[in-house]
Amino acid sequence: MSCRSCQSDNQRRFESEINIHHSELNDVKKLPALAFPVLLVCLDCGFVEARLASDELNEVIAAIKSSKGAAE
């Protein structure tokens, strides 16, 4: 599969650890969603792709819903 940005085949996979913070989160004490996606990095242009596991995606969605409820 080639890069979606520059069509290069010079890509590598990297394991990662990412803290996902919701930009509208008012409660700074709330922990961010922690995810461990595998990143596909283009070594020519720097474009990065990632996919969250379903449980990590559910954690992000829950954080968004809880921050919307707190703002109302």
Give the other-Cβ count within 10 Å of 6's Cβ. 12
Place of tokens 């394991």: 15
Give the other-Cβ count within 10 Å of 42's Cβ. 20
Q: Are 5 and 47 in contact (CB under 8 A)?
A: yes
Q: Domain count for the chain, please give it.
A: 1
Strand segments (E) across the chain: 11-15, 18-20, 33-35, 38-42, 48-50
37 lies in some domain: yes
Per-residue pLDDT at 59: 87
Q: Which residue has the higher pLDDT, 50 or 69?
A: 50
pLDDT per residue over 10-61, tens digit each? Answer: 999 999 999 887 766 555 556 678 899 999 999 999 999 999 999 999 988 8
Q: 34 lies in which domain range?
A: 11-71
39 lies in some domain: yes
Amino acid at 26: N
